[in-house]
Amino acid sequence: MIDQRLLPQDFKINSYNRYQDVAEAIQTMVIRGAPAIGAAAAFGLALAGFQSQASTKEALLQDLREAGEHLKKARPTAVNLAWAVKRMLRAADGFEGPADKLREHLQNLAKEIADEDVEINKRLSEFGAALIEDGDHIVHHCNTGALATVDWGTALGVIRMAHEQGKKIHVFVDETRPRLQGARLTAWELEQYGIPYDIITDGSSGYLMRKGLVQKVIFGADRVAANGDVANKIGSYMLALAAYDNGIPAYSAFPISTVDFELERGDLIPIEEREAAEVLQLQLLGKRVTPESASARNFAFDVTPARLISAWITEKGVIYPPFKVNLKAAMVN
């Protein structure tokens, strides 16, 4: 894993041999971004297979289920994590053969999940890039690029694809408090791709929209409810509200594995609340900015109602409202 806590100052790769350490890396955001933590959890489960001393398939399955529960607890909102664990466990359940072969099988499946992710991102990015026009200024929230996925990216993947197609675009990068995924990670990625950008503070986009400086808003998703409500990095809802008020399209880009078909509405999505220290430890001029005894709430995600989302950008194509109906149609293609 690229240690994303250290970027852009340091580029360091960490290796893990135990699923418990993978879970901790997910929790502490060494790795982050919904598809990336999904793939990491799949590899975590494969590691759990090799860690287990079990000699029978049944005993191994028991250890794998325990590891799956542990990994799922690392971060609750992004459904890709639970989706990957479920897919691995289902494959383990249905596997016919000895325990050692099952271990290998899980390792191969984790690789398959990772490879698929890259392919899916590229496909959805091609669909999304068709929505981007030459000269567009695009507000992007959080980090949804190669770092947040196995490679390429979702919302940022769309931007990257449009750029590679030769479209002249410019990105307004929401800095994305408190972990600053935009200012640190998205800006770092855009530098690599040679895409022009400006970092903006999280509250700026409404003003820029009113000034006519923004043509599109694109963000990712951590979990999408069956009715089309989108949970994503905190601040996405306010961004979508401002876009709606200004008649600017707001797109959410994600793989279909981010849709939680079992959850009817967005308000049922579990929202991670992280420790207050992430907000309170902010420093300016080398000094903590908040009073020593200050308290804070630190919700990592919010939910944007489906009515504020202009379209979903997925590997099955661009899906317009009503999402439930149109997703069904897209799935048969």
Q: Which of the following is catalytic: 222, 229, 260, 302?
A: 222
Does 124 sit near ligand MRU (CB under 6 A)?
no
Residue number with CB closer to ligand MRU (99 or 276):
276
DSSP designation for 333: -
Quickly list DSSP for 184-233: IIIHHHHHHHT--EEEE-TT-HHHHHHTT--SEEEE--SEEETTS-EEEE
Min separation Cβ 41 and ligand MRU, Å: 13
- The Cα 319–Cα 92 span in angstroms is 33
Residues between 280 and 309 with contacts to ligand MRU, criterion CB under 6 A: 300
Q: How many helices (H) and strands (E) does the chain have?
A: 11, 13
Does 137 sit near ligand MRU (CB under 6 A)?
no
Q: Which stretch binds ligand MRU (CB under 6 A): 33-41, 165-173, 187-195, 317-325?
A: 33-41
Does 257 sit near ligand MRU (CB under 6 A)?
no
Contact 295, 98 (CB under 8 A): no
Min separation Cβ 154 and ligand MRU, Å: 4
Does 252 sit near ligand MRU (CB under 6 A)?
no
- The Cα 145–Cα 190 span in angstroms is 9
Contact 25, 2 (CB under 8 A): no
Does 314 sit near ligand MRU (CB under 6 A)?
no
- The Cα 125–Cα 161 span in angstroms is 6
Based on the residue annotation, tell me whether 10 is a catalytic residue of this protein.
no
Min separation Cβ 142 and ligand MRU, Å: 4
Does 144 sit near ligand MRU (CB under 6 A)?
yes
Residues 6+ apart with CB under 8 A from 278: 178, 179, 298
Does 35 sit near ligand MRU (CB under 6 A)?
yes
Min separation Cβ 328 and ligand MRU, Å: 23
Residue number with CB closer to ligand MRU (92 or 303):
303
Q: What is the Cα 188 distance to its own chain's centre?
A: 17
Q: Which stretch binds ligand MRU (CB under 6 A): 32-40, 98-106, 128-136, 290-298?
A: 32-40
Residues in touch with ligand MRU (CB under 6 A): 32-35, 78, 142, 144, 148-149, 154, 181, 219-222, 232-233, 300
